[in-house]
């Protein structure tokens, strides 16, 4: 008994050419492997460049910066503009503070910063009693978009003169 069977193989080739996805279908028939159909077709049109964006990419967030008392004193004495920000309680500020400091208690900072510190690029040196509240305040200012903020730590580590 003679079997007359036709065995067909379809091969698909995906090709990326010139930014377009092409596919090639090659259909073979057995025996002899003769090509029954050989077709090139374009699946996807060429990719186009996306239009330029109207808004610039988001800026990289400023880094958290610490500063020593010596470095802070150099900045203060340099004549460059700065804000010395005390984030302790009013009673602590009245007891002793670094000369020319302004007081915005840490718990009020998020609500008062924009009104009392309008220049977000101004150099701001932040301190508290021991360094914990100043660290929290620096993070708050960075989250509000301030770009030039330094954590001075605590007044306990300030070896220079204080007023009060």
Q: Tell me the pLDDT tens digit for each residue of 39-59.
A: 555 555 555 666 665 655 555
Residues recognised as catalytic = 128
Q: Tell me the pLDDT tens digit for each residue of 117-146.
A: 999 999 999 999 999 999 999 999 999 999
Long-range interactions of 39-44: CB distance < 8 A, separation 24+: 44/20
Q: Tell me the pLDDT tens digit for each residue of 69-127.
A: 999 999 999 999 999 999 999 999 999 999 999 999 999 999 999 999 999 999 999 99
Show me where the domains of the chain are located.
Answer: 8-44, 69-157
Of 121 and 37, the structure prediction assigns the larger pLDDT to: 121
- Arithmetic mean of pLDDT, 156-161: 96
CATH architecture of 69-157: 3-Layer(aba) Sandwich (3.40)
């Amino acid at each position: 008994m003679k079997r007359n069977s036709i065995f067909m193989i379809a091969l698909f080739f995906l090709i990326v050419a010139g930014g377009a996805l092409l596919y090639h279908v090659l259909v073979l028939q057995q025996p002899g492997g003769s090509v029954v159909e050989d077709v090139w077709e374009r699946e996807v049109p060429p990719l186009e460049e996306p239009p330029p964006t109207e808004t610039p990419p988001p800026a990289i967030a400023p880094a958290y910066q610490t500063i020593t008392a010596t470095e802070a004193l150099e900045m203060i004495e340099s004549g460059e503009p700065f804000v010395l920000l005390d984030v302790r309680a009013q009673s602590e500020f009245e007891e002793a503070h670094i000369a020319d400091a302004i007081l915005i208690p840490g718990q009020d900072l998020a609500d008062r910063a924009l009104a009392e510190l309008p220049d977000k690029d101004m150099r701001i040196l932040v301190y508290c009693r021991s360094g914990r509240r100043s660290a929290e305040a620096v993070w708050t200012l960075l989250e509000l978009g301030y770009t030039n903020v330094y954590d001075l730590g605590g007044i306990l580590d300030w070896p220079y003169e204080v007023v009060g």
